[in-house]
Amino acid sequence: MAVLLIGTLDTKGTEIAFVRDRLRRSGIASIVMDAGVIGTPAFAADISREAVFTAAGTSLAEQQKLADRGTAIKHAAIGAAKLAAKLERENKITGVLGLGGSAGTTIGSAAMRALPYGIPKLLVSTLTSGQVAHFVGERDIMMLHSVVDLCGLNRFSRRILTNAANAMIGMVATFGGKPVEATDKPLIAATMFGVTTPCVDRARQLMETGGFEVLVFHATGTGGRTMEAMIRDDLITGVLDLTTTELADELVGGILSAGKDRLTAAAMRKVPQVISVGALDMVNFGPRETVPEKFKNRLFYQHNQNVTLMRTTPEENDVLGQEIAQKACAARGPTVILLPLKGVSAIDKEGGPFWWPEADQALFQSIRNWIGPWVKVIELDMHINDPAFAEMAANALLKLILV
């Protein structure tokens, strides 16, 4: 077993060799993959660049002839991902460590996203201090900011690369580089936001008492996408989708959208699901100054200095209700919708900053209008964070699973 090291050996060979040496000193073997296309490799890789491009269905010679950097990076990422997955299936790697700038980050992260959860994945990148969601995707990838460019060794890069090597050594030594181990408990997926935490916590406790293991996903865009991916991978037995706030961000243009496919995986995979409207009273933005000018006259709540919440309107909630109803009606498995008539979040309650009964009623009425008779809608004269609402949600899902 070894750590897979990924980089372009023509430009990052010195740094890869440095990390390889640090691993070797701790008794950790490595497999070096060269994902470069131009220049001369600093040393011979265990997996050559020729092998990488062959795995992608092309050849190094063809990519060199095309002389198109973007195309070469695309194919290198495909090849690296296929080879990394093959090494994992053959139990030849305990973790993967990549490094680079935009090209190396693109290639290394593609390989990491092809691996199961739990296998250590560490990416040293010049891009880590910026937007990294498209690199991490739905996987457990750790990213370490290189601070300085990875262009030779200096007092900063030596320290940071040593930290990266030590982190990988610690992870491999502690867990042996194994994927997440399965148990005999069926998995339940649940969605939560800070403003729906009491509800989801109570529902989770009841499901765990019933013999299930509950994975709670923070509805921050990535959380919703990860949950949908796990459902599509047939890992999930039932879904408590109580916090569907990501739909509002997708509709209005907030920063926590999970994309257009949110609320579709359980429907397609016939997974029992209980859906509610948690936190659909809000759209999420960053600091107040980042909110688009077109929203200047809207109702806002400053959650903290980095999170600005904007209240959804009756018109937006009418559209959201239709979307939820239509996606629920398309479900191939048992589905129930629960409506908390006294408020959908901690700040949407009588006297709260987002209390707007007309907006909530537009959401509820739209669901009533568009839902099909084969989907059960349960309306409760409760707030979403009332313990009785959470208990109703958990019991409803248990009933769907046990039918």
Q: Are residues 217 and 79 in the same domain?
A: no
Give the C-alpha separation, 324 to 263, whole Å.
8
Contacts of 12 by beta carbon, 8 Å cutoff, 6+ apart: 99, 100, 104, 150
The reply to whether 122 falls in a domain is yes
> Residue range 361-379: average pLDDT?
97
Pairing of strands 335-340, 273-275: parallel
The DSSP code sequence of 166-229 is: HHHHHHHHHHTTPPPPP-SSPEEEEEE-GGGHHHHHHHHHHHHHTT-EEEEEE-SSHHHHHHHH
Q: Is the pLDDT of residue 183 over 80?
A: no
Give residue 160's pLDDT. 96
The answer to whether residues 161 and 196 belong to one domain is no
Residue 314 tokens read as 């009756």
CATH code for the domain in which residue 269 is found = 3.40.50.12030
Q: Do residue 257 and residue 362 come from a single domain? A: yes
Are 243 and 385 contained in the same domain?
A: yes
Q: Is residue 180 part of a domain?
A: no
What pLDDT score does 231 carry?
97
Q: pLDDT tier at 151 (50, 70, 90 boundaries)?
A: confident
Q: Residue 49 belongs to a domain with what CATH number?
A: 3.40.50.12020
Domain identity same for 94 and 225: no
- Tens digits of per-residue pLDDT, 195-254? 999 999 999 999 999 999 999 999 999 999 999 999 999 999 999 999 999 999 999 999
Residue 175 reports pLDDT greater than 90? no
Of the candidates 113, 143, 175, which is a domain's last residue? 175
Average pLDDT of the residues of the chain: 95
Q: Is residue 390 part of a domain?
A: yes
Q: Render the burial of 187-214: b for 16+ CB within 10 Å, e for the rest.
A: bbbbbbbebbbbbbebbbebbeebebeb
H helical segments located in 90-196:
102-113, 133-136, 155-175
Contact by Cβ (8 Å): 46, 52 = no
- pLDDT, position 182: 67
Give residue 174's pLDDT band: very low, low, confident or very high (50, 70, 90): confident
378, two tokens: 């349960």
CA-closest candidate to residue 397, choices 252, 186, 176:
186
92 and 85 in contact (C-beta within 8 Å)?
no
Residues, the chain, total? 403
For residue 400, what are the CA distances in angstroms to 239, 259, 280, 326, 334?
10, 27, 24, 20, 6
Q: Say if residue 28 is in the same domain as residue 147.
A: yes
Instruction: Determine the pLDDT at residue 177.
Output: 66
Mean pLDDT of 161-174: 95
**How many domains does the structure of the chain reveal?**
2
Cβ contacts of 81 within 8 Å, gap of 6 or more:
110, 111, 113, 114
pLDDT tens-digit readout, 305-351: 999 999 999 999 999 999 999 999 999 999 999 999 999 999 999 99
- Asked if the model's pLDDT at residue 371 lies above 90, the reply is yes
Pair 135, 246 in one domain: no
- Is 272 among the domain residues? yes
CB 157 within 8 A of CB 99: no
* Number of CB atoms found within 10 A of residue 373's CB: 7
Strand-strand pairing, 307-311 and 282-285: antiparallel
What whole-number distance in Å separates Cα of residue 344 and Cα of residue 361?
Answer: 11
Based on the domain organization, do 170 and 191 belong to the same domain? Answer: no
Assess if residue 182 is contained within a domain: no
pLDDT tens digits for 258-296?
Answer: 999 999 999 999 999 999 999 999 999 999 999 999 999
Do residues 84 and 108 lie in contact, with contact meaning Cβ atoms separated by under 8 Å? Answer: no
Q: Are residues 168 and 191 in the same domain?
A: no
What's the whole-number mean pLDDT along residues 178-199? 88
Question: What is the pLDDT averaged over residues 366-392?
Answer: 98
Q: Does residue 357 sit in the same domain as residue 378?
A: yes
d(CA 279, CA 282): 6
End position of a domain, from candidates 175, 208, 234: 175
Range of the domain at 289: 187-402
Q: What is the pLDDT of residue 365?
A: 98
Minimal CA–CA distance to 167: which of 23, 374, 335, 15? 23
Contacts of 68 (CB under 8 A, 6+ apart): none
Report, as an integer, the average pLDDT of 96-119.
Answer: 95
> What pLDDT sits at residue 356?
98
pTM to 2 decimal places: 0.82
Domain final residue pick, 107, 141, 175 = 175
Are residues 74 and 166 both part of a single domain?
yes
Please tell me whether residues 202 and 260 are part of one structural domain. yes
Cross-strand partners of 336: 274, 376
